[in-house]
């Protein structure tokens, strides 16, 4: 019997404070999920992720199926044991690769065929195959296979992608067998609100345990994304978790929480960390800049991550100039701490019914430092 359930604990306007229960622990929402595409959050150990209170991380169906293979991971006891992670895992279905690897895949109603970016071999990813891989991985939350169109897709292309996404969602639901794994449907439709509403209505009828909004941050403008998010979120059941896939600037996360979304992921905090960019309350620091050479201050005085408790900006500046691997590790850790502290502060603000004030103060601070 699945232990997955969702509680809605508080609201402040459209913003929601909730709690997800999984067989690998409870997760307070809104929540940010570090991305561990290939069974690792780049440069960070599970203990480091524990230290910033990461409760759930992501793995990727397409990448793990290619290397090392989902059967091998199943033989090793599943993805949790394989990567020594004792908290929750969500696995993406490979639908984003339908978008990002468009030059090396062929797509039909049956499924998508990819040419491996590793060795050129072919991988066929059907709804049934995507679910089989995720069941072998043993994630707590699996995602339906969907078609993610680019931001500049025509209305006809968006419509075709929506119909295919609904078709594939039905097939995913019908073949899903693991009772300890929740299956989420993914709403597509680009920036077309009528298509989003149609897709959401069709998927809601299938009664998934949770729902995601996919197909954002794929080339559309931030303004058009924001205009679409609110009406799209409003179409989703209020008693189910709502996940915005792959959208990761801090302001975008707050904007999405403001319209009622609960779960977020993005490679931005770790990718920026590897490139010497640190998120702070006062905006982004470029730690390679010469102004940090003699700066004895931490990245943030009110951050309690390992990086800020032990190291100065001057030391971090030195690590990047010396091309030492510790620099990207320490900045990645801090950036994840920043994101997870931000959503924790947001949860508290919603509970205390001061979300609007908190939201406005964050945006004003970031805008003044831009």
Number of domains in the chain: 2
Same domain, yes or no, for 197 and 87? yes
Q: Of 211, 235, 266, which residue constitutes the final position of a domain?
A: 266
DSSP3 helix / strand / coil % (the chain, rounded to 5): 45, 20, 35
Q: Does residue 238 register a pLDDT over 80?
A: yes
In Å, how far from its chain's centre is CA 260? 16
Strands (E), 52-196: 56-60, 88-92, 105-107, 112-115, 122-125, 141-143, 182-187
Among 140, 104, 139, 141, which residue's Cα sits nearest to residue 125?
Answer: 104
In this predicted model, what pLDDT tens digit does every residue of 11-68 receive, in sequence order? 999 999 999 999 999 999 999 999 999 999 999 999 999 999 999 999 999 999 999 9
Residue 93 maps to a domain: yes
Closest CA to 255 of 7, 10, 14, 6: 14
Same domain, residue pair 213 and 336: no
Does residue 116 register a pLDDT over 90?
no
pLDDT tens-digit profile of 91-114?
Answer: 999 878 876 777 778 899 999 998
Q: Are residues 233 and 310 in the same domain?
A: no
Please indicate whether residue 265 is annotated as part of the active site: yes
d(C-alpha 132, C-alpha 318), whole Å: 47
What pLDDT score was predicted for residue 158? 97
Kind of pairing between the strands at 210-213 and 182-187: parallel
* Averaged pLDDT, 330-349: 98
How much is the pLDDT for 2?
63
β-bridge partners, 20: 6, 27
pLDDT of residue 104: 78
The DSSP-derived string for 21-90 is: EETTEEEEESEEE-B-TTSS-TT--HHHHHHTT--EEEEEHHHHHHTT-HHHHHHTT-HHHHTT--SEEE
Cα separation, 305 vs 164, whole angstroms: 44
Is 282 contained in some domain? yes
Note whether residue 51 is domain-resident: yes
Percentage of the chain with pLDDT > 70?
Answer: 99
Helix (H) or strand (E) holding 66: helix 61-66
Catalytic residue (choose from 12, 146, 252, 265): 265
Dihedrals phi, psi of 306, to nearest 5 degrees: -55, -40
Nearest-5° Cα angle at 131, 126 to 132: 95
229 and 155 in a common domain: yes
Residues 166 and 197 in one domain: yes
Domain closes at, from 266, 284, 310:
266
Residue 321 C-alpha from the chain's centroid: 31
- Distance set, CA 109 to CA 88, 196, 357 (Å): 32, 20, 47
Residue 64: inside a domain: yes
Decide if pLDDT at 1 tops 50. Answer: no
46 shares its domain with 118: yes
Q: Are 153 and 190 in contact (CB under 8 A)?
A: yes
- On whether both 232 and 278 belong to a single domain, the answer is no
**Residue 148 sits in which domain range?**
5-266
Domain boundary among 266, 283, 299: 266
Could you tell me the CATH number of the domain that includes residue 57? 3.20.20.105
**In this structure, are 174 and 312 located in the same domain?**
no
Rounded to 5 degrees, φ, ψ at 329 are -65, -45
Is residue 244 in some structural domain?
yes
State whether 65 and 214 are in the same domain.
yes
pLDDT band at 9 (very low <50, low <70, confident <90, very high): very high
Q: Indicate whether 216 and 336 sit together in one domain.
A: no
C-alpha R_g of the chain: 20
Q: Would you say 21 and 363 are in contact if contact means Cβ atoms under 8 Å apart?
A: no
Task: Indicate which residue of 12, 92, 140, 262 is catalytic.
Answer: 92
User: Cα–Cα distances in Å, from 293 out to 255, 288, 296, 302, 327?
Assistant: 35, 8, 9, 21, 14
Name the average pLDDT for the chain. 96
Burial of 177 (0-12, 13-18, 19+ CB in 10 A): exposed
- Is the same domain home to 330 and 203? no
**Structure confidence by residue, pLDDT tens digits, 194-228:** 999 999 999 999 999 999 999 999 999 999 999 99
Residue 370 lies in a domain: no
96 occurs within a structural domain: yes
Strand 25-29 to strand 15-22: parallel, antiparallel, or no bridges (unpaired)? antiparallel
Residues 26 and 141 in one domain: yes
């Amino acid at each position: 019997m699945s232990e997955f359930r969702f509680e809605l604990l508080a609201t402040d306007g459209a913003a929601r404070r909730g709690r997800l229960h999984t067989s690998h622990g409870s997760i307070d929402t809104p929540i940010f999920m570090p991305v561990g595409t290939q069974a690792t959050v780049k440069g960070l150990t599970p203990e480091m992720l524990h230290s910033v209170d990461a409760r759930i991380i992501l793995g990727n169906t397409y990448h793990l199926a290619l290397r090392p293979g989902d059967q091998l991971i199943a033989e090793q006891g599943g993805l949790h044991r394989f990567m020594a992670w004792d908290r929750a895992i969500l696995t993406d279905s490979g639908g984003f690769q339908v978008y990002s690897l468009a030059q090396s895949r062929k797509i039909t109603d049956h499924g998508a065929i990819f040419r491996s970016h590793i060795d050129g071999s072919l991988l066929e990813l059907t709804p049934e195959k995507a679910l089989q891989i995720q069941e072998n991985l043993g994630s707590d939350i699996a995602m339906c296979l969907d078609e993610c169109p680019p931001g500049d897709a025509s209305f006809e292309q968006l419509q075709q992608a929506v119909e295919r996404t609904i078709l594939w969602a039905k097939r995913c639901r019908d073949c899903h067998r693991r009772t300890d794994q929740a299956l989420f449907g993914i709403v597509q439709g680009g920036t077309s609100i009528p298509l989003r509403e149609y897709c959401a209505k069709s998927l809601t009828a299938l009664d998934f345990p949770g729902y995601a909004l996919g197909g954002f941050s794929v080339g559309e403008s931030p303004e058009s994304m924001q205009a679409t998010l609110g009406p799209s979120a409003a179409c989703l059941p209020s008693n189910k978790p709502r996940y915005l896939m792959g959208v990761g600037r801090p302001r975008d996360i707050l904007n999405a929480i403001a319209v009622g979304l609960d779960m977020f992921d993005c490679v931005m905090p770790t990718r920026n960390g590897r490139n010497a960019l640190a998120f702070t309350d006062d905006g982004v620091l470029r730690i390679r800049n010469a102004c940090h050479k003699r700066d004895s201050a931490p990245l943030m005085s009110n951050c309690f991550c390992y990086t800020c408790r032990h190291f100065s900006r001057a030391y971090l500046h030195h690590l990047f100039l010396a091309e030492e691997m510790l620099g990207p590790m320490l900045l990645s850790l801090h950036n994840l701490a920043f994101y997870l502290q931000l959503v924790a502060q947001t949860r508290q603000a919603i509970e205390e019914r001061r979300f609007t004030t908190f939201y406005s103060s964050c945006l004003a601070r970031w805008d003044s430092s831009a």
